[in-house]
Chain A
């Protein structure tokens, strides 16, 4: 059933200072509203539990992509389209651009924001696996101050995250200068566009003399949160690539993930596909 609109509030703010002041004055009262690609769906379905929102769409302090010598910093209200169109990101962080281009379709990409994708905390979100393998950090800001933290570990459980009631996600920072890594992103869904993933994978690794010198593996839709497969990474790190290593990694991954049956897929299928994606990635690393 559709929501009863007068029960909801959406207000604009002038700038970041006003936004932080309001969050500080009434912590918990306000949530942020960016492009609305998740919230408007819930609203229409009568399933939007929170009632009071402050709009951050087009808020200047939350937008834009800044390239510095050692990092690229992305404003939280930057849209997928802006991510896709950024040359530096396309060149140095292609997994993120691929994730952006496989999220929804053009209309969603014009409105959906990376900060919204993070704060919505869906275990099926498309961009977090890419952010995890790039060792992203996020900036959390409140009227009390600013803190940077690794994106890895930001989620503690389903829809639970290290974000206080008066804080907002302001920026995402990606470290530059990571050369000679091989990478792969693959979203498995019902169709190419407009699908929510059954399984999503992002992987990045550095191979030296046939050994996996370093590796990052992240999966969506296989656990209550978007998951970095830390134990599987540990198993692979420093090892010589071989069929036996691939089998051991696959077994470890199956223990590390916790997929469920739901409307989009089954736990069995998801586990199998996650293992196949990992095997495909290790194959990629062993080639040439």
Chain B
């Protein structure tokens, strides 16, 4: 609902918690998450949908939060990196630690969200599916091999666990 100064109040759930976000309808979800909710785990890389650093899940779909206007978050369920670990690290996070999937860390939250989203769509992904699932996330440190290995490892772990 627009109010007198053109702002909207958006009702949604972020990491399982009901929140009301207020801002310009075209404010970037990225900025609202970082500035209003102080969820600074979601990073800004390019700000134009190329790098995936700002990836979050919205209603189970991977999105670049820099390209989502606040208005479109109405009624949605949003998952950011802060909501990934529960009692302990998610197996994907653990695998990134063990396999050197993280270096400077800027791409890592987006990369982990992309990996998580991939596994929700393809519980047993092929190597091609892993590459495609991560293709929208750029990393300037690792050369991708260690990230790829981390995700592969997490898949194997989850297969063993299931």
How many positions in chain B have a CB within 8 Å of any CB in the partner chain?
32
In this complex, what residue of A is CB-closest to B47? A44
In this complex, what residue of A is CB-closest to B2? A11
| B64 and A108 form a contact (CB under 8 A) | yes
Please indicate the chain B residues that have their CB under 8 angstroms from the CB of A53 in the complex.
Answer: 26
Please indicate the chain A residues that have their CB under 8 angstroms from the CB of B28 in the complex.
Answer: 40, 44
Report which of B24, B135, B137 forms a contact with A6, defined as CB distance below 8 A: B24
Interface residues on A, range: 20 to 34
| B69 and A194 form a contact (CB under 8 A) | no
- Complex-state Cα separation, A192 to B132, whole angstroms: 9
Asked if B61 is an interface residue, CB under 8 A from chain A, the answer is yes
Mask of B88-106 contacts with A, CB within 8 angstroms, 1/0: 0000000000000000000
Mask of A15-51 contacts with B, CB within 8 angstroms, 1/0: 0000000000000000001011100110111000000
Among A99-107, A157-165, A226-234, A267-275, the stretch in contact with B? A99-107
| B26 and A106 form a contact (CB under 8 A) | no
Among B12-20, B49-57, B146-154, the stretch in contact with A? B49-57
Given contacts A106-B136, A194-B136, are A111 and B26 in contact (CB under 8 A)? no
Given contacts A10-B71, A110-B61, are A5 and B26 in contact (CB under 8 A)? yes
| B63 and A111 form a contact (CB under 8 A) | yes
Please indicate the chain B residues that have their CB under 8 angstroms from the CB of A11 in the complex.
Answer: 2, 25
Report which of A6, A41, A105, A108 forms a contact with B6, defined as CB distance below 8 A: A6
Given contacts A44-B48, A106-B62, A106-B132, are A36 and B24 in contact (CB under 8 A)? no
Please indicate the chain A residues that have their CB under 8 angstroms from the CB of B39 in the complex.
Answer: none
| B135 and A37 form a contact (CB under 8 A) | no
What is the CB-to-nearest-CB distance from B52 to chain A, in angstroms, rounded to a whole number?
6
Please indicate the chain B residues that have their CB under 8 angstroms from the CB of A40 in the complex.
Answer: 26, 28, 49, 66-69
What is the CB-to-nearest-CB distance from B37 to chain A, in angstroms, rounded to a whole number?
18
Given contacts A11-B2, A40-B67, are A106 and B49 in contact (CB under 8 A)? no
User: Which A residues are closer than 8 A to B by beta carbons?
Assistant: 5-6, 8-12, 33, 35-37, 40-41, 43-45, 53, 55, 57-58, 81, 104-108, 110-111, 192-194
State the 3 A-B residue pairs at the shortest beta-carbon distance, nearest first.
Answer: A105-B136, A193-B135, A10-B25
Between-chain CB contacts (< 8 Å), 18 pairs: A10-B69, A11-B2, A12-B71, A33-B69, A36-B72, A37-B67, A40-B28, A40-B66, A40-B67, A41-B49, A105-B132, A106-B62, A106-B118, A107-B49, A107-B55, A108-B67, A110-B61, A111-B64
* Apart from A11-B2, A33-B69, A193-B136, 19 more pairs, CB < 8 Å: A5-B27, A8-B24, A36-B67, A36-B68, A36-B72, A40-B26, A40-B66, A41-B48, A41-B49, A55-B71, A57-B72, A105-B52, A106-B62, A106-B136, A108-B136, A110-B62, A110-B63, A194-B135, A194-B136
